[in-house]
Chain A
């Protein structure tokens, strides 16, 4: 037998086509690196490599006071800064057993839901762009700007507001705040149908997202996929419903759940969540009670010795903060359980045997914010 006959065939089998998607790539929206093993255009294996934007925020938190940690928490998931602040504030307030004024709870809830809308808007715009519809990007950002303008008036910042402080808020809301929020709600409820026209009802979009990147409910629970991505697979994981905080136990809202588990389901959960968030704001915006915008706090906050865990529902899922205090003014250990890190872990499982174009659709539908993965 001549062995050489088989040699070329064997060689051909061994050839693997590796592509590094990222750290510089238009669709990873940051410095995520995905090592792909391709067979033609089909993805055989995917390995995420993170750490390109690791800034050691958790370690820095251990050197900072609790008021300072607020500013660092902004910079993890920077698209949902208010929500990260909320987690830190709730942790400190619950540890010290401080009751914050009603007014603060109302404003925080409104701000959180506005954050959810603007975060989903940014996601929607980028998702459209990833799928090749450049116009979506501008539509999404145009409407997001309006929320940022409202915030700028009240908090003085557009992006990293650091508006919440342990015990309350940095300052009271601007006199125009309520009026402008109501104007925005009126304006935005009309614009949502535009979004459906340009992307949600588009045949090409539906073809590309339906049935792509199927994530089963079991996998969602096993991998800890929370937020809209988990709820798209039927995993009822909304922290606002399960462990209510602020005003969430008093307002009426639905937890959006879908059973399909594909990219389209995750997309539609987010679109419906924007409507639900508007509904929540509508209930609260006219009824903000008068009162202080902050509880009386000592200038130096020291948590009692012990372990604390606080979770909130951010726009991407469950943000948990685990804190060990040794009684000092800085925490002994500080850990973020960031939703994007868990959501990234499932990417390999749901994008195998998909095409490169599908990978873009899938990773977009998980709504990954890279600085939240690396911290």
Chain B
């Protein structure tokens, strides 16, 4: 197929072989791991900065404002300026905080989101590690961040953070079910949990089109549940600034607060990436069977662009949620999950299984 002209595998293989030819295998491995780590660190920072800027612009657009427009042209350096400010701020903690847990919590949150990036395929051959249980890995890693949130709320030894942490615990644990089940629906269709295979399976049609009704339902459920899992509005009960001042990170300041903030945006990026990969074909260009001319033209657009366009689309949907809906109440939130999303999800999986068995999918 035409898109293989953008395959990263030969390039990465030649770098790998060159490294192994100039130094001992142990050193080559260390250098490779360091390079990958650095690449992800830079990527992480860039995506974080860009998403904060994008959110402020989108929010400004919805609210009849201009958004940041002073630092640099169109305010593009606004987030960098904010970041420098946060970096230089004094770290103020509460007196009776559990010091160890209080200091660890932001790192747990940020490490969890960092670990998840590794398994996401950005283009053909461009992913750090291709697990055969990739989806399971990402779900498990991203759900670990609730530990950080709970610890932050508990160890601050303050009242609003504790309420926020408890809300967050109830919320994330409930909504993980829906996230997992909606992805499971697609796994049933794909027959694999490996990201590279999932993407390749969408060569002649994305899963959202292939699995028609159940896949569309699963996509909607996934977007709702993953918004809730990342603690973003209208499900931002854990921070709920009008109720709990800032929820679980009330007592954090400076760079530790920035870590929570950055992790929130990265989690949003990760859930959007998974949605793009699993439902919208990841880096796979849009192919329509039998439209060969169209497919050839689509193949000329590099997969990385496809991937980021799809992710940006999902991120934009999630941002629209946040800026147009009011916040749910905790009991409505749990009702929504346990009484509506979960039963719909379970029926949806059965429905999908039936479709796969009968071969009704495209």
A90 within 8 A of B: no
- Residues on B with C-beta less than 8 A from A128 are 326
Of A26, A134, A202, A204, which one neighbours B245 at CB under 8 angstroms?
A26
Q: 8 Å CB contacts to B: which residues of A186-226?
A: 198-199, 202, 204-205, 207-208
- Residues on B with C-beta less than 8 A from A133 are 324-327
A359, closest chain B residue (CB): B243
Check B326 against A205 for contact (C-beta < 8 Å). Answer: yes
- Residues on A with C-beta less than 8 A from B221 are none
A356, closest chain B residue (CB): B243
Nearest Cβ on chain A to B85's Cβ, whole angstroms: 21
Could you mark each residue 206-250 of chain B with 1 if its beta carbon is under 8 Å from any beta carbon of chain A, else 0?
000000000000000000000000000110110011111100000
Check B327 against A41 for contact (C-beta < 8 Å). Answer: no
Check A204 against B234 for contact (C-beta < 8 Å). Answer: yes
Check A132 against B330 for contact (C-beta < 8 Å). Answer: no
A20, closest chain B residue (CB): B159
Check A130 against B159 for contact (C-beta < 8 Å). Answer: no
A205, closest chain B residue (CB): B326
- Residues on A with C-beta less than 8 A from B330 are 41, 355, 357
* Interface residue tally for chain B (C-beta within 8 Å): 29
Could you mark each residue 321-356 of chain B with 1 if its beta carbon is under 8 Å from any beta carbon of chain A, else 0?
001111111111000000000000000000000000
Check A138 against B326 for contact (C-beta < 8 Å). Answer: no
Of B15-23, B62-70, B128-136, which binds chain A? B62-70
B160, closest chain A residue (CB): A19
A17 within 8 A of B: yes
Interface centre among B59, B160, B242, B331 (most CB of A within 10 A): B242
B278 within 8 A of A: no
Instruction: Give the number of A-B contacts (CB < 8 Å).
Output: 80
A313 within 8 A of B: no
B163 within 8 A of A: yes
Query: Given A26-B245, A356-B244, are A131 and B327 also a contact pair (CB < 8 Å)?
Result: yes
Q: How far is the CA of A19 from the CA of B324 in the complex (A)?
A: 30
Check B325 against A204 for contact (C-beta < 8 Å). Answer: yes
- Residues on A with C-beta less than 8 A from B244 are 356
Q: How far is the CA of A19 from the CA of B245 in the complex (A)?
A: 12
* B-binding residues in A (CB < 8 A): 17-19, 25-27, 41, 128-139, 142, 198-199, 202, 204-205, 207-208, 355-358, 360
- 15 example contacts (A-B, Cβ-Cβ < 8 A) are as follows A18-B159, A128-B326, A132-B240, A132-B242, A135-B62, A136-B326, A137-B63, A138-B63, A202-B326, A204-B327, A208-B326, A355-B329, A355-B331, A357-B243, A358-B329
